[in-house]
């Protein structure tokens, strides 16, 4: 059951082991990028307003926020509550990663499932997509089919 405050639902973030592994791998090649991503995740954890924006399509598109949110449309059409965000500071540096996450509305929890390079192939046959979708199912995030 979601927790509530006087201002609304309290959201939280959990980072999956695979996403932690992604961050560690990024840190080996691009420590500044890893630090920027971790800083954003910390910023999200500390801001209910930003957490609420994580399911607002095109949030930050006009660069009026530190991030941009968008649906993973292919998966949303299949009933999965999957989203991606990009970090404008990284985009400005020419480093492009996407944070892939899902919301479980039953417990108001965002699950960070992966941190992938922008050139990542979103094809369901790709092993990393399979791993990500398996994590979604294993966590038990509802699908809306």
Say if 58 falls within a structural domain.
yes
User: What average pLDDT does range 2-27 have in this prediction?
Assistant: 84
Q: What is the pLDDT of residues 20-77, one digit of tens each?
A: 999 999 999 999 999 999 999 999 999 999 999 999 999 999 999 889 999 999 999 9
What's the N-to-C CA distance of the chain in angstroms?
22
Say if 144 falls within a structural domain.
no
Say if 99 falls within a structural domain.
yes
Read off the CATH number of the domain in which 113 is found. Answer: 3.30.2310.20
Q: pLDDT tier at 96 (50, 70, 90 boundaries)?
A: confident
Q: pLDDT tier at 141 (50, 70, 90 boundaries)?
A: very high
Give the number of domains in the chain.
1
Q: What is the pLDDT of residue 100?
A: 96
Say if 145 falls within a structural domain.
no
pTM: 0.90
d(CA 130, CA 21): 16
Cβ-contact 68, 56 below 8 angstroms? no
Q: What is the pLDDT of residues 105-128, one digit of tens each?
A: 999 999 999 999 888 878 888 898
Where in the sequence is the domain holding 53, given as residue range(s)? 4-138
């Amino acid at each position: 059951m979601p927790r509530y405050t006087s201002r609304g639902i309290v959201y939280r973030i959990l980072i999956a082991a695979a996403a932690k592994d992604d961050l560690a791998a990024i840190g080996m090649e691009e420590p500044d990028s890893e630090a920027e991503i971790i800083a954003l995740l910390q910023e999200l954890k500390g801001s209910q307003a930003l957490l609420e924006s994580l399911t607002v399509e095109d949030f930050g598109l006009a660069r009026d926020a530190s991030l941009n949110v968008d649906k993973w449309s292919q998966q949303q059409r299949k009933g999965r509550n999957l989203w991606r965000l990009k970090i404008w500071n990284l985009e400005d540096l020419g480093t492009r990663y996407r944070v892939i996450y899902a919301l479980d509305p039953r417990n108001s929890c965002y699950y960070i499932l992966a941190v992938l390079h922008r050139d990542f192939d979103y094809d369901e046959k790709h092993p990393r997509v399979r791993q990500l979708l398996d994590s979604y199912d294993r966590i038990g995030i509802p699908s809306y089919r």
